[in-house]
């Protein structure tokens, strides 16, 4: 995708798009529009979108272009879309909003109190003979890889659509919108022979993430009124479409308008059979409200756990048996309360996976591959906030499998594999983590190819020796992509570089296993609940650091009695194994060094172990983990901050990252001839 | 303890037009000390000021990242402006405070704090009190300042705080640490 903008002195701004304008280009497109168009608005006379060389468009781009159109109309600028291809047709079809609704004045003057008339007409039939469909999408659908315009395509191919309109009222003013969210809705009318089932089928993959209402041909006016009621915020646009699509006659629209303004109690007066089921949208809203309350509850819970821990500590110092007993009782209850509260927020991971079925089947089809998604262990539960955050990384992994993993049909047959490629995703619990495995049965990763490319990119030294897992970790490096040509579905974020960082910010890790020729498996490990962490505190140069307790294997206090075998201060021997030793004080380069006797904490992550040289052990604590915030999101070595008790704060060490960078560093030191002898600074 | 500075409260409903136009001309500035110099920031751009305390250091970050503070459930990065201006790092003491501002980054609200050595006073400056383009050289990039104000015969550099604490440039600084 490429966007160029040019501006003539006369104030004509031409924005030309080449290639695909999809969700991955949305943010870039948005920033180009903001800087080149919105900021120069006063000097412009006309805006031209040149879509001649564009290959595809999706709703996210439509939203932006239509917002530009809106701004142009409001500011009296000329707006044009040029090009010769079929996209333009589609574009004009969807954006034809230049219809002026007549009788707006008289409509609002409809006297609601003339109830006899309205009441009598509510059962009147609309007289139109087409199916009316109204769809509103979940804001997040683009992130699930869903494009509503694709669904429309199938209906259009069978000539079932009579007219269609994008409903734009929900979008924020101008270009202030978030480019990766879906604000638009769709209204369409279909030929009489179309059944509501066919519509559901066309939008099948979106059904979980949208509200779809259909009104049968020649339905009573009260049904349209009900629809209008649920679309209250967008009534102007919906009403104008009801007229232009010839669904309702102007006088019928007046009745519908009046009916839609009736409150529920007034409605009853007219209604002989009150409609039992409430509009779907209301349900959703209530759900969202509960979620925010739930988050508040979890937050408070976290604070309660902490203050209870502090209380317990203070009481234990008083040495009063009865007080101790009651405090122990309370701690138990708080603990129980905490566990229960945390389960409230868990959702089944199968629900998360199901969203990807479409991505997989669609993506495969576009590439001439047959791919199906199988789901295992969908019953495992995951914290809701975590589930939302892994949506993007999971999508990237699926896309990697679709683009680079599974071979096309001919290739598979040649290799004696089944025609159908399979991506299997499964989830299971492992101690306090949840593990998600995404496995494909495709080509697998080619170690030599990765190696060669890494050398070309300067990521590793030519003679550097790397273990298999280290080699595979290289594919997460930015700019690392096995294929030079960028493919449509992976788009801008070709390669899966952001997967690793995204997962690690969540306190998890990702590993890759692959066998050349038989497939690749991504293994993601995540903590079950992100909010509260059992952690081990250590002191380094008078600052506290927290380590997730499940990663602590052992601790060794160094005194006269214990004997620890150091190897050049770079490694230690522990239970017969040689472990790398990380000197945190050196790593952090604190200005004031402590002169304390050091102690060693043995940490593990997966199969990796390491020793951490610290000043002092502070013991086990429960901590509420907070992210460091957007500004510090790129900070390495730490996965967040821990709040312990009401006073103490500690940085949470990113053990997987530390071990990995340490190992990489050491290997470079031992094995390469050009030895750089600086500190253990990460990367 | 925290001091709440709510700009909305200063506006009263029954002021006439003349007063409104005068108010537009006159802005309230908070004057504070950073690295033994006086700076001013418009009151409207500040959301609150908290006492210095409980700052968590973040090792392996550039010196302009003073640390993070925990404020009502969130971690907020605290920036050392002295360091940003290539002056020696601030050494916080009992008089130090943290000034919290709200900024918008990629459409999201974001809170950010910066460290000040002392809070001096709140002054009202009219446009006439501000030298917009000082003829003598100022140590700062002109994008960072809005001018020089004279408060009780003392020069106060008025900062364009949104430019000084640009989220993008701070993030770039953090990232550059690992290159």
- For the stretch A169-211, pLDDT in tens is 778 777 777 777 888 888 888 888 888 888 877 777 777 778 8
Residues 530-569 of A with CB under 8 A from B: 543
Strands A577-583 and A571-574, bridge-based pairing:
antiparallel
What is the structure's pLDDT at B98?
A: 92
Quick check: A638 contacting B, CB < 8 Å?
Answer: yes
Q: Cβ A629–B175 below 8 Å, yes or no?
A: no
How does residue A1 score in pLDDT terms, banded at 50, 70 and 90? Answer: low
- Residue A560 CB-density burial (10 A; 0-12 exposed, 13-18 middle, 19+ buried): exposed
- Chain B residues inside the 8 Å CB shell of A683: 178
Residue A683 has pLDDT above 80, yes or no: no
Please state the domain extents for chain A: 2-95, 105-272, 283-344, 348-527, 532-671
Are A151 and A203 in contact, with CB atoms under 8 Å apart? yes
DSSP B102: E
Helix (H, G, I), strand (E, B) or coil at A179: coil
What is the structure's pLDDT at B7?
A: 44
DSSP per residue over A341-398, as a string? HHHHTEEEHHHHHHTHHHHHHHHHHHTT--EEEEEE-TT-EEEHHHHHHTHHHHHHHH
Vertex B70: Cα angle to B65 and B74 (nearest 5): 100
- Chain B residues inside the 8 Å CB shell of A634: 171, 174-175, 178
- Long-range residue pairs from A190-197, CB within 8 A, at least 24 positions apart, any chain: A190/A130, A190/A131, A190/A133, A190/A155, A190/A160, A190/A161, A190/A162, A191/A130, A191/A131, A191/A159, A191/A160, A191/A161, A191/A162, A192/A129, A192/A130, A192/A131, A192/A217, A193/A160, A194/A131, A194/A155, A194/A160, A195/A131, A196/A131
Are A110 and A252 in contact, with CB atoms under 8 Å apart? no
- Long-range residue pairs from B89-97, CB within 8 A, at least 24 positions apart, any chain: B89/B63, B90/B34, B90/B35, B90/B66, B90/B115, B90/B117, B92/B52, B92/B55, B92/B117, B93/B117, B94/B52, B96/B52, B97/B32, B97/B49, B97/B50, B97/B51, B97/B52
Tokens for A201? 């089928």
- Measured distance CA(A360)–CA(A399) in Å, rounded: 8
**Average of per-residue pLDDT across A205-225:** 79
Helix (H, G, I), strand (E, B) or coil at A503: helix
DSSP per residue over A273-342, as a string? S---SPPHHHHHHHHHHHHHHHHHHHHHHHHHHHHHHHHHHHHHHH--HHHHHHHHHHHHHHHHHHHHHH
Give me chain A's average pLDDT, please: 75
- Residue A670 CB-density burial (10 A; 0-12 exposed, 13-18 middle, 19+ buried): exposed
What is the structure's pLDDT at A274?
A: 37
How does residue A238 score in pLDDT terms, banded at 50, 70 and 90? Answer: confident
Tokens for A242? 């009801």
Residue A652, CA atoms < 13 Å, CB-side half-sphere: 30
Q: Which of A176, A588, A631 sits opposite B60 (nearest CB)?
A: A588
What is the structure's pLDDT at B133?
A: 64
What is the structure's pLDDT at A172?
A: 79
Are A395 and A142 in contact, with CB atoms under 8 Å apart? no
Q: Which of A177, A178, A635 sits opposite B61 (nearest CB)?
A: A635
- Measured distance CA(A559)–CA(A170) in Å, rounded: 68
What is the structure's pLDDT at B135?
A: 55
Longest CA–CA span in chain A (Å) reads 99
**Average of per-residue pLDDT across A345-364:** 78
A-B C-beta contacts closer than 8 Å: 82
**In what order do the strands lie in the sheet containing B27-34?**
B118-125, B27-34, B37-42, B154-159, B145-151, B130-131
How does residue A594 score in pLDDT terms, banded at 50, 70 and 90? Answer: low
Quick check: A502 contacting B, CB < 8 Å?
Answer: no
What is the structure's pLDDT at A85?
A: 63
**Average of per-residue pLDDT across A603-629:** 82
**Average of per-residue pLDDT across A478-492:** 49
- Measured distance CA(A675)–CA(B80) in Å, rounded: 36
Residue A93 has pLDDT above 50, yes or no: yes
Q: What is the CATH number of domain A532-671?
A: 2.40.50.180
Question: What percent of chain A has a predicted confidence (pLDDT) above 90?
Answer: 1
A161: left (phi over 0), alpha (psi -120 to 50) or beta: beta
What is the structure's pLDDT at A410?
A: 85
CATH 2.40.50.180 corresponds to the domain B27-176: yes
Residue B14 has pLDDT above 60, yes or no: no
> Which of A215, A212, A193 shows the shortest CA–CA distance to A202?
A212
Q: Which CATH superfamily is domain A2-95 in?
A: STAS domain (3.30.750.24)
Choosing among B71, B74, B75, which should be mutated to test the A contact, i.e. which has the most A CBs within 10 A?
B75
Residue A105 has pLDDT above 60, yes or no: no
Choosing among B54, B58, B101, B114, which should be mutated to test the A contact, i.e. which has the most A CBs within 10 A?
B58
What is the structure's pLDDT at A532?
A: 64
Does residue A340 or residue B26 have the better pLDDT?
A340
- Chain A residues inside the 8 Å CB shell of B170: 631
Question: What percent of chain A has a predicted confidence (pLDDT) above 70?
Answer: 79
What is the structure's pLDDT at A284?
A: 39
Q: What is the CATH number of domain A348-527?
A: 3.30.565.10
**Polymer length of chain A:** 683
Q: Cβ B77–A635 below 8 Å, yes or no?
A: no
What is the structure's pLDDT at A388?
A: 75
**CB atoms inside a 10 Å sphere around CB A60:** 27
Report the complex ipTM: 0.80
Tokens for B29? 């500035």
Please state the domain extents for chain B: 27-176
Residue B51 has pLDDT above 50, yes or no: yes
Are A341 and A294 in contact, with CB atoms under 8 Å apart? no
Element (H, E) at A586: helix A584-588
What is the structure's pLDDT at A199?
A: 81
- Measured distance CA(A636)–CA(A682) in Å, rounded: 7
Are A619 and A650 in contact, with CB atoms under 8 Å apart? no
> How close, in Å, is residue A82 to chain B by CA atoms?
31
- For the stretch A305-336, pLDDT in tens is 877 877 887 887 887 888 888 888 888 888 88
Q: Which of B58, B76, B108 sits opposite A651 (nearest CB)?
A: B58
Strands B74-79 and B118-125, bridge-based pairing:
unpaired
Are A59 and A182 in contact, with CB atoms under 8 Å apart? yes
Does residue A581 or residue A149 have the better pLDDT?
A581
Residue A213 has pLDDT above 80, yes or no: yes
**Average of per-residue pLDDT across A591-607:** 73
The alpha carbon of residue A295 and the mean position of all alpha carbons in its chain are separated, in whole angstroms, by 18
Tokens for B149? 């104000």
For residue A93, CA distances in Å to A167, A187, A245, A608, B87 come to 13, 12, 13, 58, 60
Q: Which of B75, B107, B175 sits opposite A634 (nearest CB)?
A: B175
Task: Cite the DSSP H helix spans in A181-249.
Answer: 196-202, 221-230, 235-244
Are B40 and B149 in contact, with CB atoms under 8 Å apart? yes
Element (H, E) at A515: strand A509-515
Phi, psi for residue A589 in degrees, rounded to 5: 50, 50
Are B178 and A682 in contact, with CB atoms under 8 Å apart? yes
Q: Which of A176, A299, A641 sits opposite B75 (nearest CB)?
A: A641
Phi, psi for residue A548 in degrees, rounded to 5: -55, 130
Q: Cβ A630–B108 below 8 Å, yes or no?
A: yes
- For the stretch A372-395, pLDDT in tens is 888 887 777 777 767 777 887 888
- Measured distance CA(A511)–CA(A655) in Å, rounded: 14
Strands A131-137 and A210-215, bridge-based pairing:
antiparallel
Residue A107 has pLDDT above 50, yes or no: no
**Average of per-residue pLDDT across A73-98:** 68
- For the stretch A110-148, pLDDT in tens is 444 444 456 666 667 777 778 888 888 888 777 777 777
- Chain A residues inside the 8 Å CB shell of B167: 630-631
**Average of per-residue pLDDT across B74-79:** 89
Quick check: B63 contacting A, CB < 8 Å?
Answer: no
How does residue A531 score in pLDDT terms, banded at 50, 70 and 90? Answer: low
Helices A235-244 and A221-230, axial angle in degrees (round to 10)? 150
- For the stretch A632-671, pLDDT in tens is 877 888 888 888 866 688 999 888 888 877 766 665 555 4
DSSP per residue over A597-641, as a string? PPEEEEEEETTEEEEEEESEEEEEEEEEEE---GGGTT-SSEEEE
Helix (H, G, I), strand (E, B) or coil at B147: strand
Helix (H, G, I), strand (E, B) or coil at A123: coil
Are A173 and A138 in contact, with CB atoms under 8 Å apart? no
Residue A340 has pLDDT above 60, yes or no: yes
Residue B78 has pLDDT above 90, yes or no: yes
What is the structure's pLDDT at A590?
A: 66
Tokens for A222? 């009260």
- Measured distance CA(A514)–CA(A472) in Å, rounded: 8
Tokens for A197? 């089932």
What is the structure's pLDDT at A522?
A: 92
Beta strand residue intervals within A39-153, DSSP E:
46-50, 54-57, 78-82, 131-137
């Amino acid at each position: 995708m490429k966007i160029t903008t040019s501006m003539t002195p006369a104030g004509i701004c031409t924005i030309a798009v080449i290639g695909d304008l999809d969700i991955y280009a949305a943010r870039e497109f948005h920033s180009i529009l903001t800087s080149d168009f919105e900021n120069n608005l006063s000097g412009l006379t006309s805006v031209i979108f040149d879509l001649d060389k564009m290959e595809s468009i999706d709703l996210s781009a439509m939203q932006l272009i239509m917002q530009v159109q809106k701004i142009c109309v409001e500011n009296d600028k000329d707006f044009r879309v040029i090009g010769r291809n079929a996209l333009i047709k589609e574009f004009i079809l969807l954006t034809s909003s230049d219809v002026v609704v007549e009788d707006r004045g008289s409509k609002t003057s409809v006297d609601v109190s003339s109830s006899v008339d309205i009441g009598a007409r509510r059962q009147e039939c609309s007289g139109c003979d087409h199916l009316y469909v109204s769809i509103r999408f979940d804001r997040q659908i683009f992130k699930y890889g869903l494009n509503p315009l694709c669904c429309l395509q199938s209906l259009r191919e069978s000539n079932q659509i009579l007219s269609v309109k994008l409903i734009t009222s929900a979008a924020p003013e101008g270009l202030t919108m978030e480019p990766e969210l879906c604000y638009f809705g769709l209204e369409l009318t279909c030929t009489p022979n179309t059944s509501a089932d066919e519509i559901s089928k066309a939008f099948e993959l979106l059904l979980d993430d949208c509200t779809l209402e259909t009104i049968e041909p020649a339905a009573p006016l009260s049904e349209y009124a009900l629809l209008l009621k649920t679309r209250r915020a967008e009534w102007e646009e919906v009403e104008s479409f009801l007229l232009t699509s010839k669904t309702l006659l102007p006088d019928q629209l007046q009745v519908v308008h009046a009916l839609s303004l009736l409150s529920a109690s007034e409605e009853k007066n007219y209604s002989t059979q009150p409609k039992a089921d409430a509009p779907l949208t209301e349900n959703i809203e209530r759900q969202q409200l509960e979620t925010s309350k739930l988050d508040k509850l979890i937050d408070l819970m976290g604070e309660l756990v902490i203050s209870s821990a502090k209380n317990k500590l203070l009481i234990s110092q008083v040495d009063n048996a009865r007080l101790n007993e009651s405090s122990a009782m309370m701690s138990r209850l708080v603990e129980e309360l905490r566990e229960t509260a945390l389960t409230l927020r868990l959702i089944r991971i199968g629900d998360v996976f199901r969203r990807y079925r479409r991505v997989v089947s669609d993506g495969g089809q576009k590439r001439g591959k047959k791919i199906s998604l199988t789901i295992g262990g969908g019953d495992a539960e995951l914290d809701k906030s975590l589930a939302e955050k892994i949506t993007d990384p999971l999508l990237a992994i699926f896309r990697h499998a679709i683009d680079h993993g599974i071979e096309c049909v001919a290739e598979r047959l040649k290799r004696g594999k089944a025609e159908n490629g399979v991506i299997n995703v499964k989830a299971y619990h492992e101690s306090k983590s949840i593990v998600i495995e995404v496995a494909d049965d495709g080509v697998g990763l080619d170690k030599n190819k990765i190696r060669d490319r890494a050398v070309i990119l300067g990521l590793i030294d030519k003679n550097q020796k790397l273990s298999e897992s280290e080699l595979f970790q290289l594919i997460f490096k930015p700019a690392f992509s096995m294929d030079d040509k960028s493919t449509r579905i992976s788009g801008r974020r070709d390669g899966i570089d952001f997967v690793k960082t995204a997962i690690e910010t969540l306190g998890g890790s990702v590993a890759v296993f692959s066998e050349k020729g038989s497939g690749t498996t991504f293994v993601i490990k995540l903590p079950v609940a992100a909010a509260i962490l059992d952690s081990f505190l250590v002191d380094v140069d008078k600052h506290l650091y927290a380590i997730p307790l499940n990663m602590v294997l052992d601790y060794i206090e160094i005194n006269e009695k214990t004997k620890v075998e150091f190897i050049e201060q770079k490694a230690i021997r522990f239970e017969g194994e040689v472990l790398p030793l990380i000197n945190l004080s050196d790593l952090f380069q604190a200005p004031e060094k402590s002169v304390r006797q050091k102690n060693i904490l043995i940490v593990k992550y997966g199969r990796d172990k390491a020793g951490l040289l610290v000043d002092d052990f502070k013991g086990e604590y429960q901590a509420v983990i907070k992210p460091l915030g957007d500004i510090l999101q790129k900070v390495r070595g730490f996965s967040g901050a821990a709040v312990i008790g009401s006073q103490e704060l500690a940085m949470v060490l990113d053990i997987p990252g530390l071990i990995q960078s340490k190992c990489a560093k050491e290997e470079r030191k031992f094995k390469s001839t050009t030895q750089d002898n600086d500190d253990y600074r990460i990367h | 303890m925290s001091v709440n500075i709510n700009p909305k409260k200063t506006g009263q409903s029954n002021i006439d037009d003349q007063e409104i136009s005068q108010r537009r001309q006159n802005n309230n500035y908070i004057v504070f000390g950073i690295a033994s110099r006086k700076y001013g920031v418009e009151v409207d751009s500040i959301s609150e000021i908290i006492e210095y305390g409980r700052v968590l250091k973040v090792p392996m970050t550039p010196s302009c990242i003073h640390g993070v503070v925990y404020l009502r459930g969130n971690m907020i990065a605290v920036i050392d402006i002295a360091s940003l201006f290539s002056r020696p790092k601030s050494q916080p003491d009992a008089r130090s405070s943290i000034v919290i501002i709200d900024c918008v980054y990629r459409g999201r609200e974001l809170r950010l704090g910066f460290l000040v050595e002392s809070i001096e006073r709140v002054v009202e400056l009219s446009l006439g009190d501000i030298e917009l383009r000082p003829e003598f050289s100022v140590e700062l990039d002109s994008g960072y300042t809005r001018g020089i104000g004279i408060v009780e015969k003392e020069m106060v550099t008025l900062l364009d705080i949104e430019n000084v604490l640009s989220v993008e440039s701070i993030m770039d600084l953090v990232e550059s640490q690992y290159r």
